[in-house]
Amino acid sequence: AAMSLDGSTEELRELREQPIDPQAEQEIIDSIEEVYFSNDSFDMVQHELEKLPPELNLQELEEYRDKLKRQQSFTGILILNCYNDKMQLSVAKEGFTEASLGLLANQRRRQLLTGLLKSLRTIKTLQRTDVRLSEMLEEEDYPGAIQLCLECQKAASTFKHYSCISELNSKLQDTLEQIEEQLDVALSKTCKHFDVSHYTKVQLAYTLLGKTQTAMDQLHMHFTQAIHNTVFQVVLGYVELCAGNADTKFQKMQYKDLCTHITLDSYIPCLTDLCKALWEVMLSYYRTMQWHEEHDDTAAESDESVVDHSYVQKKLEHGLTRIWQDVQLKVKAYILGTDMSNFKYDDFIVVLDVISRLMQVGEEFCGSKSEVLQESIKRQSVNYFKNYHRARLEELRMFLENETWELCPVKSNFNISQLHEFKFMGQCRSPSVSPSRQVVSSTSPPQEELSLFQQYLQEGNPFEMHIEHKEEETEDVLASNGYESDELEKSVYQDYDSDSDVPEELKQDYVDEQTGDAPLKSVSRETIRSKKKSDYNLSKTNAPILTNTTLNVIRLVGKYMQMMNILKPIAFDVIHCVSQLFDYYLYAVYTFFGRNDMYESSGLGLISSRLRTTLNRIQESLIDMVRLMGSATPRNAGIHGPAEDRKEKVPSPHLSQMVVLTNSGTLYGLAQRVVATESLVFLAEQFESLQSHLDTMMPAAKKPFLQQFYSQTVSTASELRKPIYWIVAAKAIDYEQMLLMMAGVKWDIREIMSQHNVYVDVLLKEFEQFNKRLGDVSRHVRIPLPVSNVLWEHCIRLANRTLVEGYANVKKCSNEGRALMQLDFQQFLMKLEKLTDLRPIPDKEFVETYIKAYYLTENDMEQFIKNHREYSMKQLANLVNVCLGSHINKKARQKLLAAIDDIDRPKR
């Protein structure tokens, strides 16, 4: 102790027992000089003595000594207390706490070491994470990998004070970026084959990354890329396959150029595969949209997810039209890459069918009208169709020039709907639906029709080739008389009795080199001749009258209509060509059997002005008059228009040399004339039955063309009967012989005769002979009632006109002579009525009125001349000169003859 314990223990105890005020206690301690707390070498006596003042005061000294004493006593107590505490602590330490405190120290050290171990383990785990991440990525567990990565990043930030960990942190960042790249690849896979679980994982992974919108942007890029890669690979595959060499130049080509290297044989398979592959891409997009519709409904509606949801929705909807546009442009490049003008008809129909189906996909995919596809297929179709039609018209000309106008023996119930080409009409379809797809008929109850996306959602493909060339179904339209309907097609060029006039190359089956189309079924004469009369009595059956060529035209019309059905945009072009088929057939029948210069002079008005207009129109628009005139005419003859216009025209056909029209025994080829004319009438009837169907296919602006074609052309077919059968009637009866016989009759007789003249009997014999020949012809070809009526009418009218001409040749005639004329005519009528059912007898009044005019007075004659323009000037002049000659003066006669001259007689 620095301070000696002078006071007795008693004194100390006394002090300790007195309670001390803490403030006073503090004051005592504060009053002790600081130097007393210093080291042991301090000499306090010396210190105090040095402090004494020079002059000592006893009272002050005693007070100061008391203060020091108080300080010393208090310090002694404190020292004593400290000593006691120290002694007690020493006992406690030895006896009780030392072991426990040791334990606590160890525990703390252990905790620190455990923490360190844990940290080391975490560090080790973090270091090994990349191995697990690789495994997860191989398992395509993208959400798991991202979650692990994010957790590791979080953990790593805790240990960033370790240098090894800061290195790991940047490595994890790289891994995360690598996962994103792999995720992008995984996302791109959904473009071709959408898989729900795969897509769900990918979307979850992007959500964990907080990159839903980025994913959507990427997805659309992938779809665009998928479309490009898909079409390129499909086309490249076919081009390389067909090139057959290991040339790699194709791989470096642009897709558009690559499309031009597709061969004709591989065109359809490649197109089909192209559409199949594009369907897969569109179906994947459709299923992606479906996924989002289902999942967005169930997603938690946080503000962030609502924003994402609306972004995704807009992006997907916008993407529909963009993807379909891409698809259209790729297919357009393919369509236009090949010149299809020389495709076979059936192949072209398949192409149209596939594109039509693709347009249906577009409509269902995004409500598109597929203008790009329509425009490109329209371009190809117009090109193809013009080419096809030109070839068909040339083929039709060859058919017509080799046609022998024999009957094609079809069943009596023959109807065009039985032909393959018209099968499509039975399948009523809505305009937007492709031909290979039938719609529920209107009679069945309405039902929701599945879209292609619904039908083929899980499996299958709408472009699987259902359209492969079907085996020709047998058509049961031919009469069962030795000609089997499934017999191999025979060429029309094999139908002749004699091969002598037929060039060798025409004896081959004719196949159109341009299109590969084989000719239509035809029947040989031998086949017809081999029939027993009882099996095939044509006079008793009402089977339609048609030829192989008629059947050919009808089939062509069916094919054209099929094209129209699929190709609404070129419907007008097609109908225009359909009308040309009919025009050319009509023109041929007229040219072969009806063209005759004698019409005009006959005054019988055989060709109506409507028919004349039609024939002129056909000749101007369709018949190539330059080729008709031969090489003598300069090719660029201005009057015939430029060569380009002539490309659309066909030379006028020539009648086959096998058809003889000059033989009186066959009534001047009446059988062939009937077959030709009535087959045209039959063709017109078929056209009539198709009118309403054609009308529905026509664009409104072009409907007048169709109506005019029907009213001006189709309806004139039966009018050709008049000029064609007139030629037979004009030759069948010897009208000249009758005129000569009439000229030998004496008409100025003075007595009434009871016996008619012999020329009447000769004329009636001619009519009987004509009737018998008609019967003969009808055993080979049915002569329909309208035909026999026209024939009889022509013959009777010509006979009656010959009678009037004969009477007009008379130089002298008495009243009794006129009575004889009446007797002759009555005899002729009476016998004629037994030969024909035709009532009334044509032109009966024409003769009777002329005979009665003999009795007219001068005034009546003037009126008669004005009223009866049907008589020729010569016939009227004869009435004036012979009948009135003896009764009137020269001046009156001149006046009447002048009246005859004044008549502006129209041609009838």
* Residue (of 760, 791, 759, 757) closest to 774 by Cα position: 791
Distance CA 289, CA 321 (A): 13
Asked, for residue 548, whether it belongs to a domain, the answer is no
669/572 same-domain check: yes
- Beta bridge partners, 623, equal 650
Point out the residues of the chain with pLDDT beneath 50.
1-5, 7, 428-446, 467-471, 481-516, 518-540, 631-641, 907-908
Residue 389's DSSP bridge partners are none
Q: Give a yes or no: residue 109 inside a domain.
A: yes
> Could you give the CA distance from residue 86 to residue 883 in angstroms, rounded to a whole number?
188
Is 397 inside any structural domain?
no
Residue 376 covered by a domain: yes
Looking at the domain assignment, is residue 500 inside a domain? no
Q: Please tell me whether residues 677 and 576 are part of one structural domain.
A: yes
The reported pLDDT for the residue numbered 597 is 65
What is the structure's pLDDT at 773?
93
Query: Taking CA 105 as the corner, what is the angle to CA 104 and CA 106, rounded to the nearest 5 degrees?
Result: 90
Site of tokens 């459709």: 286
CA nearest neighbour of 48 among 27, 38, 33:
33
Q: Does residue 274 share a domain with residue 310?
A: yes
Same domain, residue pair 179 and 264: no
Integer Cα distance of 643 and 444 in angstroms: 55
Tokens 């409509």: give the residue: 363
Residues 372 and 253 grouped into a single domain: yes
- Of 183, 201, 219, the residue at which a domain comes to its end is 201
The pLDDT assigned to 584 comes to 96
Q: Are 787 and 676 in contact (CB under 8 A)?
A: no
| Residue 478, strand partner residues | 410
Q: Where are the alpha helices (DSSP H) in 93-195?
A: 98-138, 142-158, 163-189
Would residue 256 count as lying in a domain? yes
User: Do both 698 and 743 map to the same domain?
Assistant: no
Residue 299 shares a structural domain with residue 347: yes
pLDDT at 131: 76
Q: Are residues 776 and 902 in the same domain?
A: no
Domain assignment present for 503:
no
Tell me what pLDDT residue 830 has. Answer: 95
Distance CA 800, CA 843 (A): 7
Report the alpha-carbon angle 178-179-185, nearest 5.
95
Does residue 715 share a domain with residue 832? no
For residue 803, what is the domain's CATH number?
Answer: 1.20.58
Final residue belonging to a domain, choices 843, 871, 887 = 843
How many structural domains compose the chain?
Answer: 5
Structural tokens at position 597: 């210069």
Residue with tokens 């006669």: 893
Q: What is the pLDDT of residue 20?
A: 67
Instruction: Give the pLDDT confidence score for residue 598 in this predicted structure.
Output: 63
Say whether 650 sits in a helix, a strand or coil. strand
Place of tokens 């330059």: 626
150 occurs within a structural domain: yes
Rg of the chain over all Cα atoms, to the nearest angstrom: 59
| Best CA proximity match to 547, nearest among 353, 734, 680 | 680
Considering the domain architecture, whether residues 796 and 872 belong to the same structural domain is answered as: no
Count, in order, helices (H) and strands (E) of the chain: 34, 0
Give CA–CA dist 785/791, Å, rounded: 10
Alpha carbons 681 and 716: distance in angstroms, whole number: 9
Structural domain of 118: 68-201
Residues 816 and 671 both lie in one domain:
no
Is the domain of 188 the same as that of 215? no
Report pTM: 0.68
Alpha-carbon distance 649 to 627, whole Å?
10
Nearest to 357 by CA among 377, 387, 336, 379: 377
Residue type, 635: R
10 Å CB burial of residue 794 (0-12, 13-18, 19+) is buried
How many degrees, rounded to 5, is the angle at CA 588 between CA 582 and CA 591?
140
Of the residues 788, 815, 843, the one at which a domain ends: 843
Residue 718 is given by DSSP the state: G
